[in-house]
A and B are shown apart, each in its own frame.
Chain A
Amino acid sequence: MRDALINLAYVVSAILFIFGLKYMSHPRTAVKGNLISAGAMLLAVVLTLTAIGMVGTYVIAGLVIGGIIGVVLAVKVQMTEMPQLVALFNGFGGAATVFVAGAELLKPDTSTAPDVMLAAALSGLIGAVTFWGSLVAYGKLQELKMFKKPINIPSGAVVNGVMVMILLLLTIFMAGSNWSVLPYILIVIIASILGFTLVVPIGGADMPVVIALLNSYSGLAAAATGFVIDNNVLIISGSLVGASGIILTQIMCKAMNRSLTNVVFGGLQSAAAASGPAAD
């Protein structure tokens, strides 16, 4: 009964997220939209704490430590450095899904049904790509030394293709077996390398689009995690972010006169093309 009530209240949270996003896309209502969305998140957290019942030390410690770090980073950042901070936050969100799915695999009472394993594999995969991709995006925007010169991975498309194939095979293997921890760790490691090699060749001027795309990924990772822990609010808000993030990425590409494929796969051309959008 209590679980049913909490699940119903999660729906309220999901509806507020939808309104928040809607309002965020109009100048006059954007501030309100962000506040509504923040309220939805607060509601989701309070409901979860209620559902857990006894709130342990780890929960409180995590909320306090994370809250303090988040406030300090957000308050101290210079206006001009905001995009890279968003990239960093996005990376943390992706990493969180990797850890949530990982923790779930370690619990003795987790189901080893194929769909749960598949969702866990996807959480780890997409989350790790998001984390490392976002870190690279952060590094490029922050103009860290190691990203100053464009890094080209020799025959990058082939290397990435091979990694994607291995990841798919591992994911299928994991879904089909009930022995999951080692394949999961392998998936996270390879996806980490993939996140790095995917973003590293892309030029700094295209980073905002890349962050928007990675943001969409972190939404999908959250949705996948929702399937692992069987939680609707994760599935709903994750897929909202995943889908609206793709649309926003397209809109941003259009504003820059670039196509998405051009940004993602045109690492070599981007150096030449970067002078184009910079002119206007």
Chain B
Amino acid sequence: RYDALAASLTIFILAIFIGFELITKVPPTLHTPLMSGSNAISGISIVGALIAASADNAPLAAIIGLVAVILATINVVGGYLVTHRMLEMFKPKR
């Protein structure tokens, strides 16, 4: 099982490097939308929340999972929508 951990750590470290390289020059007007957009991505914990909420062998875990699904869904749905609204504000100027 430590082979699997090594593989996960490899993926983790490579993704960190991509994250560092991904964003280099960002015009100041895009700072807030980019923050908001990447905040929506961190709502990816919705995946874990869905898995937790569907645990049928541990009722308490499923209830806590339900709370997690609600919170993560707010983050994801609200996050993408509000980012879209922010970006629409810049659009007409182009």
Kindly name the residue among A41, A102, A228, A230 whose own CB sees the greatest number of chain B CB atoms within 10 A. Answer: A41
Q: Does A192 touch B at the CB level, under 8 Å?
A: no
Q: Does A272 touch B at the CB level, under 8 Å?
A: no
| Alpha-carbon gap, A165 to B69, bound state (A) | 31
Whether A34 contacts B87 in the complex (CB less than 8 A), given A74-B78, A97-B45, A243-B19, comes out as yes
**A103 and B31 contact, CB distance less than 8 A:** no
Residues of chain A with a CB closer than 8 A to B69's CB: 58-59, 62-63, 66, 96
CB contact between A93 and one of B12, B33, B43, B81 (< 8 Å): that residue? B43
Q: Which residue of B lies closest to A231 (CB)?
A: B47
Interface residues on A, range: 35 or more
Residues of chain B with a CB closer than 8 A to A102's CB: 64
Interface residues on B, range: 35 or more
Whether A235 contacts B31 in the complex (CB less than 8 A), given A58-B66, A85-B82, comes out as no
| Alpha-carbon gap, A234 to B38, bound state (A) | 14
CB contact between A96 and one of B45, B56, B86 (< 8 Å): that residue? B45
**B71 and A96 contact, CB distance less than 8 A:** yes
- Beyond contacts A82-B32, A231-B47: 4 other A-B pairs, Cβ-Cβ < 8 A, are A41-B46, A103-B55, A104-B48, A243-B18
Write 9 A-B pairs (CB below 8 A) sorted by A numbering. A34-B84, A44-B46, A62-B65, A62-B66, A82-B86, A86-B32, A96-B45, A103-B60, A221-B42
